[in-house]
């Protein structure tokens, strides 16, 4: 049954998948940061307040989430089908020719992992090695990467350079000539890359920890 509690729980789960608070999710979707605050989900008179269709649509667009995935979060175990997502180790992905020129996974070295209701059929997962991405991602975590998801400043991304380097960073700024990246680990340096040196960049949507 579609209930007030379930729709708000689904929005909270979308925020968690993107490593955001409810207010951070609202901000990323271009909404007032207080839109999804728990204090606003019930009026002072006790009337239930529901998220608007417009705000839900903006959240889905900002997180690259399909309506089917939202439905699966509202009703776990429902009809949303699980999508078989390619899975490979992060270091291994950067070492060989496992992507095409557009950053889509190719070849038969990829394993498969089920992910329910995923909108991007070309999405894939990478397993994090070691401690270089802590505290954001720990050794053994699996990150879900979507080549189709829109990328904004502040998003976490995977970047593949022409030299074969694979980076997981936060996008600080992108211009026609350069891409500025913030390290996820304070002990690692930030990077600025020439746009011409980057093969592709894709957004990290979610992490399994």
Say yes or no: 20 and 47 in one domain.
yes
Say yes or no: 55 and 102 in one domain.
no
CATH number at residue 87: 2.10.109.10
Say yes or no: 11 and 67 in one domain.
yes
pLDDT of residue 94: 74
pLDDT of residue 164: 86
Say yes or no: 87 and 178 in one domain.
yes
Cα distances (angstroms) measured from residue 51 to each of 56, 78, 173, 203: 7, 22, 31, 26
Handedness of CA 91, 95, 96, 101 (dihedral sign): positive
Residue with structure tokens 């394993």?
Answer: 111
Domain boundary among 74, 93, 116: 74
User: Are the beta carbons of 165 and 200 closer than 8 angstroms?
Assistant: no
Say yes or no: 96 and 176 in one domain.
yes
Say yes or no: 12 and 102 in one domain.
no
CA angle 144–94–115, rounded 5-degree value: 20
Please give the Cα distance from 128 to 142 (Å, whole number).
6
CATH number at residue 58: 1.10.260.40
Q: Which domain holds residue 149?
A: 82-208
Domain boundary among 74, 96, 128: 74
pLDDT of residue 119: 65
Say yes or no: 105 and 156 in one domain.
yes
Tokens linked to 15 = 């925020």
Domain boundary among 47, 74, 101: 74
**pTM of the model as a whole:** 0.60
Please give the Cα distance from 202 to 103 (Å, whole number).
8
**Mean pLDDT, 10 residues at a time, the chain of 209 residues:** 84 86 92 91 87 89 78 64 74 79 82 66 86 86 88 92 91 95 92 96 83
Say yes or no: 66 and 108 in one domain.
no
Say yes or no: 143 and 112 in one domain.
yes
User: Are the beta carbons of 93 and 30 closer than 8 angstroms?
Assistant: no
Say yes or no: 103 and 52 in one domain.
no
pLDDT of residue 68: 67
| Structural domains of the chain, count | 2
Say yes or no: 30 and 95 in one domain.
no
Say yes or no: 179 and 94 in one domain.
yes
């Amino acid at each position: 049954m579609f209930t007030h509690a379930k729709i708000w729980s689904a929005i909270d789960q979308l925020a968690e998948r993107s490593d955001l608070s409810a207010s951070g999710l609202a901000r990323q979707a271009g909404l007032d940061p207080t839109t999804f605050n728990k204090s606003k989900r019930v009026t002072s008179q006790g009337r239930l307040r529901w998220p608007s269709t417009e705000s839900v649509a903006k959240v889905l667009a900002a997180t690259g989430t399909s309506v089917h995935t939202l439905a699966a979060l509202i009703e776990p175990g429902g009809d949303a089908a699980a999508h078989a997502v390619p899975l490979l180790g992060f270091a291994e992905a950067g070492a060989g020719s496992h992507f095409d020129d557009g950053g889509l996974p190719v070849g038969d070295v990829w394993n498969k992992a089920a992910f329910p209701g995923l909108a991007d059929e070309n999405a894939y997962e990478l397993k994090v090695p070691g401690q270089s991405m802590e505290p954001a991602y720990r050794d053994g975590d699996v990150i879900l990467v979507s080549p189709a998801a829109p990328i904004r400043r502040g998003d976490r991304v995977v970047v593949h350079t022409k030299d074969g380097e694979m980076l997981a960073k936060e996008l600080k700024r992108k211009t026609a000539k350069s891409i500025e990246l913030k390290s996820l680990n304070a002990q690692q340096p930030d990077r600025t890359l020439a746009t011409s040196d980057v093969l592709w960049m894709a957004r990290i949507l979610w992490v399994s920890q």
